Copies of this chain bind each other. A is one copy, B any other.
Amino acid sequence: MIQESVKIKDVAQHAGVSSATVSRVLGNKPHVKEDVRDRVLESVKALGYRPSRIAQSLRTQKSKVIGLIVSDIQNSFFTAIVRAVEDVASEQGYGVFLCNTDENPEKEQFYVDLLLDERVAGIVMVPTREQDTPCKEIIHSGTPLVVVDRRVLDVEVDTVLTDNREASSKLVKALIAQGHTSIAAVLPDLRITTGRERHLGMLDALAEANIAMDEDNLYIGPPTAEAGYALTRKLLAKKVLPTALFVGTKYMCLGALKAFHEADIRFPEDITLAAFDKLDMLPYKPNFIYAEQPTYDLGESAVKLLMEKIENPSKTIQFITLSSRLNI
Contacts and interface: CB of A to CB of B under 8 A. Distances in A.
A281 interface: yes
Contacts of A2: 142
Contacts of A53: 117-119
Nearest to A1: B140
Nearest to A113: B50
Given A79-B79, A140-B1, A283-B261, A73 B86 contact: yes
Interface in A113-140: 113-119, 140
Contacts of A5: 141-142
Given A53-B118, A110-B90, A254-B283, A79 B83 contact: no
A140 B196 CA distance: 54
Given A50-B117, A52-B119, A142-B3, A281 B281 contact: yes
A96 B98 contact: yes
B283 A255 contact: yes
A32 interface: no
B79 A73 contact: yes
A163 to B, nearest CB: 24
A319 interface: no
Closest 6 CB pairs of A and B: A257-B283, A2-B142, A98-B98, A258-B283, A261-B284, A53-B117
A177 interface: no
26 contacts: A1-B140, A50-B116, A50-B141, A52-B58, A54-B54, A54-B58, A55-B58, A58-B58, A65-B97, A65-B118, A73-B83, A74-B79, A74-B80, A87-B100, A90-B110, A90-B114, A95-B97, A95-B118, A96-B97, A96-B98, A96-B99, A97-B97, A258-B283, A261-B284, A262-B284, A281-B281
A230 to B, nearest CB: 13
Interface string A205-219: 000000000000000
Interface string A224-259: 010000000000000000000000000000111110
Interface string A77-112: 001101100110010000111111000000100110
A51 interface: yes
A76 interface: yes
A131 to B, nearest CB: 21
Select the residue from A225, A261, A283 with max chain B CB neighbours within 10 A: A283
B50 A54 contact: no
A58 B53 CA distance: 10
Given A74-B80, A96-B97, A261-B284, A119 B54 contact: yes
